[in-house]
Amino acid sequence: MRKLLIVVMLVAGCAARGDFETAPAGLDGGTPEAIFVGTTRAEGDAGFGFERSEVASFLRYDVSIPPEREAGKVNWPPKTRKPDARKDFLLLHWQRFGSAGEFRSALRGALQRRGQTDVVVYVHGFNNTMAEGVYRVAQMHHDLAVPGVAVHFAWPSRGSALGYVYDRDSVMASRSGLVALIDEVEGAGAQSIVLVAHSMGAFLSMEALRQEALKGGPKALARIKGVVLIAPDLDLDVFRAQARDIGKLPEPFVIFGSSRDRILNISATISGTGTRLGNIDGVKEIADLNVIYLDTAAYTTGTGHLNLGENPALLQLFGGLVGIADAFTADARARVGLLPGLVLTVRNATEIVLAPVGAIAEGQ
């Protein structure tokens, strides 16, 4: 059984891998997206790999988003031709800041130039390389048309389907690193910080919030104006314990899950538990918490592990992620057809089932 699970996990996670490809001089055609990065990955000869560092590094990556692609897709340049800015994700420029102070200053400048005080901090999930995390953040930030500045916390994932235990240990070692990055973001002048975490990154984010709450009390999380967990690879009992320690959860607190998430179904089996937070069937066990659970099973794309980031329909529906709470007020939840092309089936105060209008009409 263990060998079978490993084989299935390899197949499920065998999407094309890639590394940064620098755009040749004079090549244009894409849309630049700036990603500020704090990382606890150690820097080696080949860049920032999977080894852990006790000292954080701060960087900025300018990524070119190609116009000729389907929303939700990250297109890596194939080896069979020259890079094409119209079709491929490419690296325009990157820099490493000499200190946390330089990072704060650069981020402050970016906020001032845009006339904004919103920052979205993205935390990647299991089995990611540095390039994959940065490119995915650039893709989601661009496709969701998020108005805030994008900041990415790159924790030292092994970047391997067989590195599950290593990644879990890296999460535990990275809690203070994420808290420190949020401190830097606030120090740069951000007044509204939204935390968006995917997969195992949700575990890390909850641990960081718990650490802040236990150390600084309820007011410590006042700067967090929203939390979005996407396909959280997080044990249900652990999540409840974290939420209990945190006390009052940041609002809004939104969870995108799916019972059709194949990766989480495998994770649940390997972990010896029936479910993870991201693939629960019904919200009875978390109904006492002040969270909104969005069931995206009807919009499953691929493995179903990143429906929000990869499904064009959901990307269109939830464009402008910073203002996501506006669509789910108490009054709005009682209405059907709140968003164009979408039916909201409300089972209780916590769960909202998302489904295309066509699917409802056909009785699916």
pLDDT digit string (tens) for 55-97? 999 999 999 999 999 988 999 998 888 999 999 999 999 999 9
Tell me if the bond preceding 218 is cis, omega within 30° of 0. Answer: no
Whole-angstrom CA distances from 329 to 220, 335, 349 are 25, 10, 11
Q: By the 8 A CB rule, do 183 and 151 touch?
A: no
Domain ranges of the chain: 2-224+235-250+258-272+300-306
User: CA 71 to CA 144: how far, in whole Å?
Assistant: 9
User: CA 214 to CA 207: how far, in whole Å?
Assistant: 10
164-220 per-position pLDDT tens digit = 999 999 999 999 999 999 999 999 999 999 999 999 999 999 999 999 999 998 788
pLDDT reading at 308 higher than 90 = no
Q: What is the pLDDT of residue 274?
A: 64
Give me the sheet containing 253-257, strands edge to edge. Answer: 90-96, 47-65, 31-44, 149-154, 118-123, 192-198, 224-230, 253-257, 292-295, 351-356, 342-346
User: CA 327 to CA 85: how far, in whole Å?
Assistant: 35
pLDDT reading at 146 higher than 80 = yes
Least confident interval from 193-197, 249-253, 326-330, 355-359: 326-330
In single-letter form, the type of residue at position 36 comes to: F
pTM passes above 0.95? no
Q: What is the pLDDT of residue 290?
A: 87
pLDDT reading at 311 higher than 90 = no
Instruction: Give the number of other Cβ atoms within 10 Å of residue 68's Cβ.
Output: 12
3-state per-residue secondary structure call for 260-316: CCHHHHHHHHHHCCCCEHHHCCCCHHHCCCCCEEEECHHHCCCCCCCHHHHCHHHHH
Single out the residue of 121, 100, 125 nearest to residue 187, CA to CA: 100
Helix (H) or strand (E) holding 117: none
Q: What is the pLDDT of residue 364?
A: 46
Question: Residue 33 corresponds to which tokens in the numbers above?
Answer: 């997206």
3-state per-residue secondary structure call for 157-169: CCCCCCCHHHHHH
User: CA 153 to CA 141: how far, in whole Å?
Assistant: 14
Whole-angstrom CA distances from 343 to 304, 346, 354 are 20, 10, 6
In single-letter form, the type of residue at position 175 comes to: R
